[in-house]
Amino acid sequence: MLKECAQHGYFRGETCIVCSQPGRFLMNDRELDHLGRVMTGVLRHFPEKYGLSLDANGWVSLPGIAKAISSQHRGYHWLRVHHLVAIAESDPKGRYEVRDDRIRATYGHTVEVELDLPTENVPVELYFPVTEEEAPVVLEVGLKPTDRRKVHLSRTAEDARAAGSVRTPNPVILTIDAGAARKAGIVIMQAGRTVFLVDRVPAEYLRRLPETATSTAA
């Protein structure tokens, strides 16, 4: 459930996590889940299906996307800009960025965009999940994008395990020496609360995290 607290802004759940007040109802869980999927689809993969186009940095007009979604999904005739802002600002992974009257996805794109994201305060180590079969190949040739425009790295081993478990029940976690990579001129950008983007990671900056380390982190 998505609600708005008059004092503390948008939140997900029954009550505001700051003041425990019930807040103003915006949408139920089913609507929140479906609208979130539509938003990520439009902002990452198929804006043209909704008659939209992203600018060079991935931005699109908030009034424009609100109108496009409500036009194609008649059940959302009530949809307004503040509903989309509420989804973006309450997203636990930081998958969206809102600036003025524009919105964009911060990562996960299959369409070509140039993301001008922050490159400061990157942890010295980041993590990436692979399957057991992929591990020796990646450790030899490095990390390169597959179905996305960038390689998506995780802030912690636990975050990487959660991301990797979508593909395999027991992902192998690779550690990236982000500090050394950045000193060598490799640009790493922070895209969400737990996600960092890079064009590629050479093999010299990768190592396999021992199973005991991943078990401890989890």
Q: Domain residue spans in the chain?
A: 2-105, 125-217
Span 82-93, pLDDT tens digits: 999 999 999 988
CATH of region 125-217: 3.20.170.30
Residue with tokens 């889940």: 33
Is the pLDDT at 158 greater than 90, yes or no?
yes
Specify the CATH number for 2-105; select among 3.40.50.300, 1.10.10.970, 3.40.50.2020, 3.40.190.150: 1.10.10.970
Percent of the chain at pLDDT > 70 equals 97
Domains 2-105 and 125-217 share a fold: no
pLDDT tens track for 34-62: 999 999 999 999 999 999 999 999 999 99
How much is the average pLDDT of 102-127? Answer: 92
pLDDT of 166: 84
Q: What is the pLDDT of residues 161-216, one digit of tens each?
A: 999 998 888 999 999 999 999 999 999 999 988 999 999 999 999 999 987 555 55
Report the pLDDT value the prediction gives residue 172, as an integer from 0 to 100. 95
The CA dihedral of 129, 166, 94, 102, to the nearest 10 degrees, is 110
Choose among 9, 29, 25: nearest CA to 17. 9
Backbone angles phi, psi at 103, to 5 degrees: -140, 150
The pLDDT assigned to 212 comes to 56
In angstroms, how far apart are the furthest CA atoms of the chain? Answer: 54
